[in-house]
Structure 1
């Protein structure tokens, strides 16, 4: 026999109440690579087995006080000795005795008187079998441990089921994601972790052995809360028959949040691009306006000069025509006025080189009201001023602040163009409130549309037929950039008041 298949120093427990039989067993096995331990009764056999943990027990059946059957039963019932193989020795050659011996856990049966060669052969055979089983069990244990480590190292949740959808395997990630412990989910149906609307479909897929992939589906936690997952179901088969299924899933809550944030960012980028395109067009229009103002201002100056020359010629006549002289004077005056309007328009669209500086808000408002007089006449509305700003100073970009004021004034004038109360005029007021200057524009128009509150200062929102919807948005950006605030209020007597405030220049800024 090849002893390489038998582990060195296997312990054998020899149990017999007859000293002669016990000596014969020792003699037969004396030259073999075993460690022999003996016992002369059942109680002693149990104690020795508990202490030595024998690989194999040669056990006599017919013993006083405790027979071999009871000894075998007690050995198999004890976790420390349950793995010991038992071969019964008996002089009783009865099939019922043999059947009982196998039923209590024995692996073999040797009749007395026994042949030494037979005993050795059976011992070697069963030890070899036991060693193979032990190695197989260890290998299976190692493989199970390795598989479990692999399962635990995977971030995705993995659940195995039988054909009926009953859970037979679950890894740590699945436990953590679902909030269930291993023992509480084992043997439950997989449908218990899905909502009722999906439960039946998933159960049918498993029963029918069909594959399934879903990018988004809801799963239930232990406390019945839902969370989104991506899910794949793969059937498992044994010899062509459906055995169950493996479910692999991943929590996509964060992914969906990122996708949502990405979509919002894309929308914001689109809006920013559209806004920049509008601003670029406005910038181009400003440059064109500056060129237009330059071109128009020259002929206006020429008209004024020609009118003045004609007036001189008329005055040199013997009888100067008064009506003609008066008309020429009016012509010169209106040409100069038109030239001043054009000059103010040029100044408005041209940003000063020095940017922000100290300015008196009274002067800024007065200049912009003069620029708005044409709109006021076209809309048939008079502009009233109530400026109580004393010697206040603000540190601002004047063109930007005038842009805000002009936008609010023009909006108010347009709102009153068809109003029955336009004779009351548009009021522009300026007051000091604490450490801020507040400019208000009060109109008597039809008022704001319902629901406009949430959209009023958003880009490209407009209630005007030909409006672009960027005026108030730009105004808000400018005022916020100057550390100020902008807002509005509905007036109970009708119309709307738009206002903005700016911080007064502190002493350090004024120095």
Structure 2
């Protein structure tokens, strides 16, 4: 009985234990199948005998059956040796063995981590070696030797693809970052070197600029010419020391003052007045870089003659003008001396001309005197008749009056020629002057059997000249032609012409058909004291040339041997509304 009770208890205990074991096994199976870790059971030949769903999905990418397949068929060929060594280590009781291998890609698409290098450092996807479609796993296992006729391997499989790739990406990014930092450091070092070089160059340039500025300021202040810089508004922004010397204003007194206060003749010098107006009104057509002759006005109100030239330049988009002022007082004084000297020489030359033309002048005077005497005798005879013919007397007296006027004009011209007087320039018709000079030389033309021909342009514009001086030039050129024709055996001809050249010049030429100027004398004939006459002074042509040049003209000649010589002079066409002295 006791035995039965004991057996019954044991049976009941066993039943309870079995139920517990059954429930535990069910829990194990449930954990095994739902575990995210892949588990495999292999026989001694490496054939898969059991696999949980995680292992099936990891190796096949689906739920297809893995049983009776060798695990090595899923291992990448490059890792086969590592796998077999792993199995061998397990058989050798090395239960701590672990191996990382790659699985064969059976067309399974695995989600790969996005490398931030594509976004951060512009890595190329096509060249990225970490975009690997293979799956990495870590195998761990134990061996069960309590199996009849063999052993079993229990393996756990962990998918480490993402962590490995992340590690590779981190390593790659660190390497690229180091390269980037190295490149940036190299650039920074180079930039630092370049910057240091630039700073050195700028320091040197600054030093050179300072030296150049000091040198230019020294030249600026040491310049004998006044230099005034003013803005387009016309206000002065800088001056040099010469301006203070010229005008008596200090530099501070002239700053921000109008440039006009230094010029006294803006109302007289129209071109310069126009220039200043154009500068101030910002006229884009303004013409500068010309030289203007004006009168400056000093602080005390006195004036001084100046030459002014203005240059234009831009600084930071703003226009500035610099006026260069030259004191021409000494030049004016020298010009006045030269003019006085020329006037004196011209007077001497005119006296010589009158001396040479003495008989001709006497003849010119004698002709109207003879006519007056004859007409007077006729009047006396008519007055003594019983019934005088007053009409005839009136005609004769009118002729006496005309001859008297003619004589007066001759004497007046001779008086002007021989008298010493300052230059007086008036608006003159050059053709009338030519005709008056020709009339003085008619006796010489007749005596030397010279045919005189005048070819004068009608409606010749008036020019501003000193009549006496230009008359002297004409007389001298005509006298030279008469002398050149005296010994000519051909028909002697003298042609005097007037015309307009270049639209702004009057040309007067005296042409003869004499023997011409010798080749050896062409370069010296216009020089002072050169003469071919026995009693000549050699002043006539040189003085004539100086007179023409003082009128801003040109005197020159052309000559051909045995064909003749042409002397001509050009004078500018310009007039004034008043007499200039």
TM-score, length basis structure 1:
0.38
TM-score, length basis structure 2:
0.34
Based on CA coordinates, which of the two structures has the bigger radius of gyration? 2
